[in-house]
Structure 1
């Protein structure tokens, strides 16, 4: 199976790429925005499944879905989002999207979803039927101090502790402590997962 993964956040791309590369029978190409994804389709297509980040540059709402469907009519084109409203999900599915995938989905479930869509089925997780909005609750941000939120933005940018310390005018050891607290408060195993949770919740 050939899969195209398009997301403007390098951390998201790299993490999802690592998930898929461990799966036998899946070949993955990546792109950082819609134009790059369209170029990739022209150069390397056809793809069986195409995952598009709803919020990445070039999408212009669901206009990007239309453009990709026209460029790759043979592909199952799906939207990924951590924060898009239920209305957007419904509209995407009505437009013929192969699925609407919340970024909070687990790695194994995501792989199942991709295989499901490659088989010609439409993927809509159960929470789509029940929730008004994807993503983490607003209370997530309320757990953090202002300084922790600043450090979290640095994690989302993929910065090292030393770089975050320089940007904030703090000592590196202080940043390490904030990262440890962030992981504890967000129930994240490591800094990468903390950044993913924050991105999915629209916090950075």
Structure 2
């Protein structure tokens, strides 16, 4: 991870760009530096690196988060970041232009959804809007909310802890408790406790229902 700012001066803004493609990180960083004064850009190549950068810096003004990078598990990564660092605004970037996905990002706590195919001027304008406290979506994201999604589902998901997000994401992949325990390096009893808490928080009765619910924040991406 690297940061850039004006030598000898405190940066006016600290922005983390989390994307697994270095060229995308460089392009976004260039757009920010060209349009904003005194910005420090910190790069991250996956979700764990982004979370480590958030933990390492006391004052982060914006997190730019790639929806499709390793560790995200759809919107589970966004929800986990919002749970652990609720004060940091998040702008999602992705190659998808599906309106339902864009709106779902906002429902799970993002302040913006910016298509990677947008001109750099548009991307910079969108990020500045987020820094100004606004919510930004492209015009094509307008439309009716996604059918079948409970009105308070995003609120329920936001109540999960980061570890519960990980357990839920693995449940959605059909993993058994023993497999989840091995993958997360915890005891099987701990996994069972997490599953019980997840079912209660989501208001569902079974692992199957929890896995179906998880698809509301999964977008079918493998990373």
Helix, strand or coil at the partner of 1:97: coil
Answer whether contact 2:95 2:116 (CA < 8 A) is retained.
Answer: yes
Q: TM-score, normalised by structure 1?
A: 0.60
CA distance in 1, matches of 2:93, 2:64: 6
Q: 1:6 and 2:21 equivalent?
A: no
Aligned length: 131
Helix, strand or coil at the partner of 1:27: strand
Q: Which moved more, 1:78-87 or 1:27-36?
A: 78-87
Helix, strand or coil at the partner of 1:91: helix
Match of 2:108 among 95, 112, 116: 95
CA distance in 2, matches of 1:28, 1:45: 14
Displacement of 1:96 after TM fit?
2.0
In structure 2, what is the equivalent of residue 107 of structure 1? 120
CA distance in 1, matches of 2:14, 2:58: 8
Give the CA RMSD over aligned residues: 1.8
Displacement of 1:84 after TM fit?
5.2
CA distance in 2, matches of 1:71, 1:31: 17
Answer whether contact 1:46 1:72 (CA < 8 A) is retained.
Answer: no
Greater than 4 Å deviation, 4+ residue runs:
none
Q: TM-score, normalised by structure 2?
A: 0.55
CA distance in 2, matches of 1:72, 1:29: 16
Q: Which has the higher helix share?
A: 1
Gaps of 5+ in 1: 131-204
Answer whether contact 2:67 2:74 (CA < 8 A) is retained.
Answer: yes
In structure 1, what is the equivalent of residue 32 of structure 2? 20
Matches within 5 A, 1:121-140: 121-129=134-142
CA distance in 2, matches of 1:51, 1:105: 15
